[in-house]
Each structure stands twice: as structure tokens, then as C-alpha cells.
Amino acid sequence: MKKILIIEDESALQKTLGDVLSQNGYQTKSALDGETGLKLTQSEKPDLILLDLILPKLHGFGVLKRIKENPETKKIPVVILTNLESMQDIEKAMELGATNYLVKANYSLKDLLIKIKEVLGEQV
Amino acid sequence: MVVIIAAVATYYIGTKYIFDPRLVALIVLMVSTILFVVGFIISQSFERLAEANKIKSEFVSIVSHQLRTPLSNLGWAIEVLMSGKLGKTDHRQFEYFVILRENIVRMNELIKDLLMVSRIQTQTLFFSEKEFSLVELVQELIQDFKVVAQASNVNVIFDQPQNIPLVFADPFKIRQVVENLLDNAIRYTQNKGEVRIKIETQGNRIYFAIQDNGVGIPQKDQKQIFQRFFRADNVMKYQTQGSGLGLYISKSIIDKSGGKIGFISPKGQGSTFWFTIPILKAKV
């Protein structure tokens, strides 16, 4: 069973995402801030990380940078899941090594699941 | 540079008409100082304007993020409720969920439009230009709008043109323009109406036109049709939904893509909106 780490400070969104991913056969772990997210990345070694950008304690870009600088975690695909959509943020995320940059407002849960399966190399 | 040129010019003119060299020197100094101060004030104003635009852009970006976050919460929660996985919903409950979902979509669209307008005004709208087929883009959109057109009893006709060259523009932005024009054409065409789309080559540009036999645009409103938040009075009678930003955004996109946009709307004959965009640049 593949493991997905959700780093998202909105507890309602975290719950919804967690429930839907569990219903679709994924194991999930969650963090409400950047520092906890980083710790869980290192301890759990998930198959995929869903990472928000506006986070308490450590900004999403800071989390992403450290994940990609650590040889033990740099290969974990990180999908940015945020409501920021400036070109500067998108470019920065891709430069830091994000696999995808998804704007929450533009994605239904169904479409998000399809994207997750694509990133994990699963049949859609 | 301007100050130096002005100083030299003042000196030359001064020496021609004034014989006291000290007076000429004083005049040159005064003119140079005045020009320097004026130049400094103007450049400071531009810097303050650029800073204000940057702050405004960041403010809009943050506010739209804060507005979208609870909307995402609502949207996804409703999606879970409507999926039936938490228990069956009866027909009346489902209808209310549909109302909630539609209004969340409406609010998201409005925020997206406001964000776009802000970027247009602060000149921070990013374009990613590439070659693409306008014909294929229009075909996709007609397919996307099929259900809406059928529900509105509007027939969308696209004369499939042949041998239309690729265009060079941002496909996502042009898609937004075509989507807006098609949406308007269907929305403001009355029952059993017709929307006709044409694409053709005109010199080094592609010409796109969409004609409807709908409510048309009153003569008195035509000059303002591309302004922000403007909605013609007759439109408001038929369709109160809409932000009045679609055509303003469309015009900004086409202008920045190196094209032109316009319309004709003779009395009682519906409207034809058109735009042109450059054909793919020749590869060097």
C-alpha cells in the first residue's frame, strides 16, 4: 500500500484529503506545519508528498528545499498543492525540484486523484 | 544626459544674447538645477508607482489565496458528500448540493477574473507563447460547451476550415478568450438561436469571428463594452450573472498577444465578435 504524506495547515482540507486517499487505498500521514512535515518525511519516507506552501514554522519552499537537498529523501516526488498561482511561485517550486504544481481551486478531488496516480505511475 | 544637453544649450543661447558671463553661468546653473530636481521627482514618482503596483499585486495575490482556501474546503467537502460514499443522499438534498457547488465555482471564477485584472493592471501578466492550432482549440471548446449549448437550445456551427497555419501565442490565454466569447454568444442568444464560428487566414494573421443572433449590444453601450465591470442594460435583463470582466480580460490578452479585437452589432441582428492573432513566426 503506497504512503502519502499530506503537509497542509488547513485541518479541514487535511481531513478531506486524508479520507479520500484512504478510501482509494492509500496509507496517509499528515502534518499541520512545515517542521513536522519535514520530520515525517525523514521518518516515514512516503511514496509521495502533497505540500502546501503557506505553512506555519517553515514555509513550503523551505520544506521542499530541504527534502531535495537530503540524499535520503530527494527522490520522493513532491506535488505542490496550494492556492497561490503566481508565475514566480510556480517557477521557484519547479526550480527547487517539485514534480507538479497544482492550484487547489482548479482541481476537483477526482482530478487530483488522477494526478496522484499519474505521479505514482499507477494506472488511471 | 537631458540636464547636460539643456546646460549646453542654455550656455550657447545665453552667450549669444547676454554679455555678462557671470549672469550666463548663473542662468545655466539655475536651469540645470531645476531640470535635475524635476528629473529626480519624476524618477521617484515612477519608483513609488512601481512599488505601489508591486504591493497591490502582492496584496491581491494574498487576498485571493485567503478567499480561495475556504472555497477549496467547501468545494472538496461537497464533492465528498455528493459522491454518496458517506451515505445515500435523496434527490432534494442532492439539488441543494448542486446549488452549493455551482456557487463555489462561480466565486472561484470571480476570484480568478479579479486576479487576472490585477495582473493586467500591474503589468505582471505572464505569457508563455508557443505554436498551436487555433482550429483544434476551438473544436475542443465547442465539445466542452456542447451540453450547455444544448441546454440553451442554441446550435453552434463551426465551418471546419482547411489549411489554417499554426498561430504563435499563449494557448491558455487564447483559450480563455475563445471560451469567454463562446460563453457570451450562447448565453445572450435566445431560444433556438444559432452561433456561427469562422476562422480564416488574413495575410500574416489568423482571423477568428463568432456570430450570434442574440440580443445584440445597444448603440449607446457599444463604446464601453470592453471596459471593466461594464454590462449592457439589455444584458442585465436576460442574465444577471457575470462579473463584467470577461471582455476587458479578453481585449487585454489579445492586445498583448499582438492582435486586435472588435465587434459589430447592428440593431436587431445579434453580434459578431472577432479577433486576429499573428501566425507562427518563421523559425530562424
Task: Indicate the residue among B125, B160, B181 that finishes a domain.
Answer: B125
Q: Is residue B135 part of a domain?
A: yes
Residue type, A100: N
Alpha-carbon gap: B158 to the closest alpha carbon of chain A (Å): 29
Q: State ipTM.
A: 0.87
Alpha-carbon gap: A8 to the closest alpha carbon of chain B (Å): 11
- CA gap A114, B113 in Å, rounded: 26
Q: Do residues B102 and B234 share a domain?
A: no
Q: Is residue B283 part of a domain?
A: no
B63 → chain A, closest CA residue? A84
Residues with Cβ within 8 Å of residue B116, at least 6 apart in sequence: B125, B245, B249
Q: Do residues B80 and B161 share a domain?
A: no
Q: Is residue B284 part of a domain?
A: no
pLDDT tens column, B105-121: 889 988 888 888 888 88
Q: Which helix (H) or strand (E) holds B75?
A: helix B21-83
Question: For the domain A3-119, what is the CATH superfamily, name and number?
Answer: Response regulator (3.40.50.2300)
More confident residue, A30 or B64: A30
The verdict on a CB contact (< 8 Å) between A23 and B85 is yes
Q: Do residues B151 and B242 share a domain?
A: yes
- CA gap B165, B163 in Å, rounded: 6
Q: What is the mean pLDDT of chain B?
A: 86
Domains in chain B, number: 2
Q: Do residues B147 and B116 share a domain?
A: no
Reported pTM = 0.74
Edge to edge, the sheet with strand A27-31 lists A27-31, A3-7, A48-51, A78-82, A100-103
Residue type, B119: R
Tell me the pLDDT band of B248, cut-offs 50, 70 and 90. Answer: very high
Q: Do residues B146 and B168 share a domain?
A: yes
Give me the residues of B, 57-116, that contact A with CB < 8 A: 61, 64-65, 68-69, 71-73, 75-77, 79-80, 85, 108, 111-112, 115
Q: Is residue B134 part of a domain?
A: yes
The DSSP bridge pattern shows strands A48-51 and A3-7 to be: parallel
Q: Is residue B175 part of a domain?
A: yes
Is A63 in contact with A34 (CB distance < 8 Å)?
A: yes
Residue B198, pLDDT above cutoff 90? yes
pLDDT tens column, A18-47: 999 999 999 999 999 999 999 999 999 999
Q: Which helix (H) or strand (E) holds A20?
A: helix A11-23
Tell me the pLDDT band of B22, cut-offs 50, 70 and 90. Answer: confident
- Domain that residue B136 falls in: 130-278
Compare CB distances from A13 to B73, B112, B126 and report the shortest one's residue.
B73
A90 → chain B, closest CA residue? B126
Domain residue extents for chain A: 3-119
Alpha-carbon gap: A104 to the closest alpha carbon of chain B (Å): 6
Residue B176, pLDDT above cutoff 70? yes
Q: Do residues B136 and B121 share a domain?
A: no
Q: Do residues B178 and B84 share a domain?
A: no
Q: Do residues B144 and B273 share a domain?
A: yes
pLDDT score for A35: 95
**What CATH number should be reported for the domain holding residue B161?**
3.30.565.10
Helix (H, G, I), strand (E, B) or coil at B245: coil
Q: Do residues B134 and B273 share a domain?
A: yes
Task: Indicate the residue among B125, B155, B172 that finishes a domain.
Answer: B125
Q: Do residues B150 and B259 share a domain?
A: yes
pLDDT tens column, A57-113: 999 999 999 999 999 999 999 999 999 988 889 999 999 999 999 999 989 999 999
Compare CB distances from A105 to B68, B77, B80 and report the shortest one's residue.
B68
Q: Do residues B109 and B136 share a domain?
A: no
A124 to A5, A109, B195, B253: CA distances (angstroms): 20, 14, 36, 35
Which chain A residues are Cβ-neighbours of B65 within 8 angstroms? 54, 82-84
